[in-house]
A and B are shown apart, each in its own frame.
Chain A
Amino acid sequence: MTIIEQLIALRTLFLREIYRFSRIWVQTIVPPIIMVALYFIIFGKLIGSQIGDVKGFSYIVYIVPGMIMMSIITNSYANTVSSFYSCKFQRHIEEMLVSPMPTYIIIWGFVSGGVARGGLIGLAVSLTATLFTEIHVYHVWLLLLVTLLTSILFSLAGLVNAVYANSFDDISLIPTFVLTPLTYLGGIFYSIDMLPPFWRELSMLNPILYMVDAFRLGMLGVSDIDPLLSLSVISAFVIVLYAVVHLLISRGVGVRS
């Protein structure tokens, strides 16, 4: 395929993903907005008003970056895992496999959909947050870079899950038992400086911490970790996960006999 043909194929996959999650907006767009609104009401307003400032910000302002990042993570992951598994389940993945599209176009087609949904929900959650508190932007480019890298990372992770999934149960196991605990323990609701040394060191093994922390730096200008280290960790995960996904799909794991 020529470069132009590959771009046409990529555009087709991207638009297909956008149409897919837009068609089911009640399942894909509305729930995360309702969920974060509840978080802001309960943790931000009701409980947060009883908690003092964290790093010079009121509690509700401090948790906003983490809430946005949590929405980006869960939605970019959910988009690729459900879309790719649905393609496998209904066997229309074969439409792509019989075509001349190279593996990397198929991967980036799905990932672009995950990034689009993650970004869209991140924006929607940010707008929802303005109903409860003010929104800060300290480093706009850092915010955009962290959003892009994080949504790519979790879109790729969703693909790995979908490749190995053999049932709809399999696509909910990782989000329930791995993603949610890591997200909640990733510094959304607290600064790791508030933890005892052992738990602080243990938290450093959680990759989501680096994303939340870098995003918080982009919004509020405060962080617990060197942003270069955070960006390096996120980038390293993106590279490793891309290599894994490319290997799996080019070998036909989970999609070819």
Chain B
Amino acid sequence: MPSHALVIEDLVKRYKGGLLALDHISLKVKRGDFYALLGPNGAGKSTTIGIICSLINKTSGRVQVYGHDIDQDFAAAKRMIGLVPQEFNFNSFEPINEIISNQAGYYGISPNLAKERTEYTLEKLGLWQKRKNTPRELSGGMKRRLMIARALVHDPQLLILDEPTAGVDIEIRRSIWELLQELNAEGRSIILTTHYLEEAEYLCKNVGIINQGKIIIDTSLRALLDQLKQETFIFYLQDALATAPKLENAHAQLSDERTLEITPNTTLSLDELFAELHNLGIRVRSMRNKSNRLEELFMNLVSK
């Protein structure tokens, strides 16, 4: 088994109107990785995914999936991929068990095995009771899960999800996260695009950021967060304060009499900060980050 689930080399996509959507991008995703591909709208994320999955023709460059070139060995490469697209793309009039078993058939899976896998994936995604319904009769969250079931029916090793939790409520989002973590723990490589940066921070090991058709960051999530030089914390206080305290290695300001915003210097640990607050007689009830750390970093990177 090759060490990389996906290797993209010098990939270019220029659309008919002349728009350069991908400008010589190269990317490697390790086998078993949980990789976030981030970027603002129109950055080239969906184009990249479309090319990997043969939905968009590339202008030039190479793509390999588990060592199989998508041009020269397209059947083997396609077998490795399960795609969960951004928008619903079902036949609205087809019962969902037929949608799943037909998808298995397109991969050459025998009817008996297709039936077994259809049952297994629909059970796994909590849709077995709805198997006779058509997609029109499903809720938004169920449709998302149906797309995941369809992508899994041929047992792919690389699962690609294009904004899988867009527009779903928190409960469903959490259940999708748990499922994805489970699939990753089984050894499947996962590539995820998302606009919810806390989703990437919660799930992913490595991150690529694409902007204006170029990869501007390709690193581990840890290394990316280490680039963050300053963080602001919000402390909710037990007792009211009249003025903000003067701290040695941090800047503090009051939002209201019981809410204190503190931006510590990079040299100051949270232990030291808590000790200083304690010495000043300030008791903390709870605290949180002022903003999502990854979001802050993301905004800095793409606005450069």
User: In angstroms, how far is the closest chain A Cβ from the Cβ of B144?
Assistant: 16
How long is the Cα–Cα vector from A86 to B91 in the complex, in angstroms? 8
How long is the Cα–Cα vector from A256 to B85 in the complex, in angstroms? 15
Contact with A along B93-112 (1 / 0, CB 8 A): 10000110011011111110
Q: Which of B57-78 contact A (CB under 8 A)?
A: 57, 74-76, 78
Determine if B75 and A257 form an interchain contact, defined as CB atoms under 8 angstroms apart. no
Determine if A95 and B55 form an interchain contact, defined as CB atoms under 8 angstroms apart. no
Q: Which of A109-124 contact B (CB under 8 A)?
A: none
B107: contacting residue among A20, A90, A100, A252, CB under 8 A: A100
Determine if A97 and B102 form an interchain contact, defined as CB atoms under 8 angstroms apart. no
Determine if B103 and A23 form an interchain contact, defined as CB atoms under 8 angstroms apart. no
Residue of B nearest to A12 (CB): B105
Determine if A98 and B15 form an interchain contact, defined as CB atoms under 8 angstroms apart. no
B102: contacting residue among A1, A16, A252, CB under 8 A: A16
Measured as residues with beta carbon below 8 angstroms from the partner, the interface class of chain A is: 20 to 34
Determine if A8 and B111 form an interchain contact, defined as CB atoms under 8 angstroms apart. yes
Task: Please judge, given known A-B contacts A98-B83, A100-B75, A257-B57, whether A12 and B106 are in contact too, CB under 8 Å.
Answer: yes
How long is the Cα–Cα vector from A4 to B110 in the complex, in angstroms? 9
Residues on the B chain within 8 Å of A97, using CB = 53-55
Determine if B105 and A100 form an interchain contact, defined as CB atoms under 8 angstroms apart. no
Determine if B102 and A95 form an interchain contact, defined as CB atoms under 8 angstroms apart. yes
Q: Which of A133-191 contact B (CB under 8 A)?
A: none
How long is the Cα–Cα vector from A1 to B106 in the complex, in angstroms? 10
Residues on the A chain within 8 Å of B74, using CB = 100
Q: Assess whether A200 is interfacial by the CB under 8 Å rule.
A: no
Q: Which of A48-93 contact B (CB under 8 A)?
A: 86-87, 90-92
Determine if A256 and B56 form an interchain contact, defined as CB atoms under 8 angstroms apart. yes
Residues on the A chain within 8 Å of B76, using CB = 100
User: In angstroms, how far is the closest chain A Cβ from the Cβ of B85?
Assistant: 7
Q: Assess whether B79 is interfacial by the CB under 8 Å rule.
A: yes
How long is the Cα–Cα vector from A2 to B110 in the complex, in angstroms? 12
Determine if B106 and A95 form an interchain contact, defined as CB atoms under 8 angstroms apart. yes
Determine if B57 and A8 form an interchain contact, defined as CB atoms under 8 angstroms apart. no
Q: Assess whether B150 is interfacial by the CB under 8 Å rule.
A: yes
Residues on the B chain within 8 Å of A99, using CB = 78, 103, 106-107
Q: Assess whether B90 is interfacial by the CB under 8 Å rule.
A: yes
Contact with B along A9-24 (1 / 0, CB 8 A): 1011100100110010
Q: Assess whether B89 is interfacial by the CB under 8 Å rule.
A: yes
Q: Which of A194-223 contact B (CB under 8 A)?
A: none
Task: Please judge, given known A-B contacts A8-B108, A99-B107, A100-B107, whether A257 and B78 are in contact too, CB under 8 Å.
Answer: no
Task: Please judge, given known A-B contacts A97-B54, A99-B78, whether A9 and B90 are in contact too, CB under 8 Å.
Answer: no
Task: Please judge, given known A-B contacts A100-B75, A257-B15, whether A94 and B89 are in contact too, CB under 8 Å.
Answer: yes
Determine if B85 and A9 form an interchain contact, defined as CB atoms under 8 angstroms apart. no
Q: Assess whether A6 is interfacial by the CB under 8 Å rule.
A: yes
Q: Assess whether B50 is interfacial by the CB under 8 Å rule.
A: yes
Determine if B81 and A98 form an interchain contact, defined as CB atoms under 8 angstroms apart. yes
Residues on the A chain within 8 Å of B150, using CB = 95
Residue of A nearest to B21 (CB): A257
Interface residues of A (CB under 8 A from B): 1-2, 4-6, 8-9, 11-13, 16, 19-20, 23, 86-87, 90-92, 94-102, 251-252, 256-257
Known: A5-B108, A101-B106. 18 other contacts (CB 8 A): A2-B108, A12-B106, A19-B98, A90-B92, A92-B91, A95-B102, A95-B150, A96-B106, A98-B53, A98-B55, A98-B83, A99-B106, A99-B107, A251-B57, A252-B57, A256-B55, A256-B57, A257-B56
